[in-house]
């Protein structure tokens, strides 16, 4: 089982990254910071006769890498009560590749297991992140991906999440599981 960590934050060393590192301590995995990639917004050509056109950015390479893993850990801070724009764009671009015959995207997505890490601050993310969890649930359900579990951490300034004992308790539980995968 190959594990990929997909980081949606627009800053390094933030709280969602910190929780993810704890989850993956001593666990072999691939790590991608979406922010390090050039990923354009989707141009919807589903209803254009010529269909989608090739986009010259880092997305296709990233998608191939993504599809080579079995377990995906999505980690995003709660930005404006949703996932980061970086991560939203990652999902939006699926719409193009679902129609690309070179990829059997829908079938491949259905084989994957998803974990979700969200960090936020005020108002309490344990409540304010719930619509986002519902959105991820709907996304995963739509493509038949298994949504195993989610973890909500509280923190604003870098490092602050360390004081969220419950979040760290859960990272340890996940870590045990991932070590024995």
Nearer to a second copy, 15 or 27 (CB): 15
Residue 18 is encoded by which pair of tokens?
Answer: 């910190």
Question: Residue 139 or 162: which CB sits closer to a second copy?
Answer: 139
Sign of CA pseudo-dihedral 18, 20, 25, 28: negative
**Shortest Å distance, C-beta 158 to a second copy:** 6
Q: Which two tokens stand for residue 125?
A: 């993310």
Could you tell me if 112 and 72 are in contact, meaning their C-beta atoms sit under 8 angstroms apart?
yes
Smallest gap, in angstroms, from Cβ of residue 80 to a second copy? 4
In angstroms, rounded to a whole number, what is the distance separating the alpha carbons of residues 97 and 104? 8
* Residues of this chain that bind a second copy (CB under 8 A): 9-11, 14, 35, 41-48, 77, 79-86, 88-89, 91-92, 94-95, 124, 126-128, 130-135, 137-139, 142, 147, 149-150, 157-158, 165-166, 169-170, 173
User: What 3-state class would DSSP assign to 137?
Assistant: helix
- Shortest distance in whole angstroms from residue 104 CB to a second copy: 19
- Measured from the CB atom, the residue of 110 and 134 that comes closer to a second copy is 134
- Sequence length of the chain is 181
């Amino acid at each position: 089982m190959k594990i990929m960590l997909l980081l949606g934050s627009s800053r390094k060393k933030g709280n969602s990254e910190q929780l993810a590192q704890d989850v993956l301590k001593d666990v072999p995995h691939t790590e991608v910071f979406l922010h390090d990639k050039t990923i354009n917004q989707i141009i919807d050509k589903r209803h254009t006769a010529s269909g989608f056109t090739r986009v010259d950015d880092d997305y296709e390479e990233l998608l191939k890498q993504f599809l080579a893993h079995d377990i995906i850990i999505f980690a995003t801070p709660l930005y404006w009560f949703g996932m980061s724009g970086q991560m939203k764009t990652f999902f939006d671009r699926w719409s193009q590749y679902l129609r690309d015959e070179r990829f059997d995207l829908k079938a491949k997505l259905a084989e994957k297991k998803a974990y979700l890490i969200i960090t936020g601050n005020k108002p309490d993310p344990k409540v304010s992140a719930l619509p986002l969890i519902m959105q991820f649930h709907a996304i995963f359900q739509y493509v038949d991906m298994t949504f195993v579990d989610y973890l909500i951490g509280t923190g604003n300034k870098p490092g602050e999440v360390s004081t969220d004992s419950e979040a760290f308790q859960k990272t340890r539980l996940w870590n045990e599981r991932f070590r024995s995968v």
